[in-house]
Amino acid sequence: MDSTQSNDQWQSFLQEYKENKIVAELDQPLITKDSREKMHDTTEAVQSLNQKVLFDKAKEFFLETICEYSEQLSGQQIFKAFYAAAQENLDHFDKEYKKAKQIIDCIQGLNNDKN
């Protein structure tokens, strides 16, 4: 590498530094404080791993259910069973929500019920 190329590289580095203001740590060249902090932040990694584990677990349960009943039920019947289960789940949580809402309304003095 001749001195012209070396000078050009140095000028390019200085220009990039001026534009981005990247400051490397003395003991770790080219590693910025921000990049090190992001490297140690595992929040998103843990959440995505947790989501993958839960997804795989749900998929496994659905697979077991489909395999267990596929000989006795048609695909449409299995679909209807999943739909009925989802509706039952919704109804359950709707009842729980209404109970919780009723308690909050009572606490706030908004309950018009005489019971």
| pLDDT tens digits, 43-82 | 666 667 788 888 999 999 999 999 999 999 999 999 999 9
88 with 114, same domain: the answer is yes
Give the residue-averaged pLDDT of 95-115: 82
Least confident of 24-28, 67-71, 101-105: 24-28
- Within 10 angstroms of residue 66's Cβ, the number of other Cβ atoms is 14
* Total structural domains within the chain: 3
60 with 95, same domain: the answer is no
Mean pLDDT for all residues in the chain: 79
For residues 82 and 88, is the Cβ–Cβ distance under 8 A? no
3-state SS string for 81-108: HHHHHHHHHHHHHHHHHHHHHHHHHHHH
Q: Which residues pair with 24 in a beta bridge?
A: 32
What stretches of 21-115 show up as alpha helix (H) in DSSP?
Answer: 33-40, 43-69, 75-108
Domain range for 95 is: 74-115
32 with 55, same domain: the answer is no
- Position 23 pLDDT exceeds 70: no
Q: What pTM was computed for the model?
A: 0.47
15 with 51, same domain: the answer is no
What does the alpha-carbon distance between residue 11 and residue 3 come to, in Å, rounded to a whole number? 12
- pLDDT, residue 48, reads 74
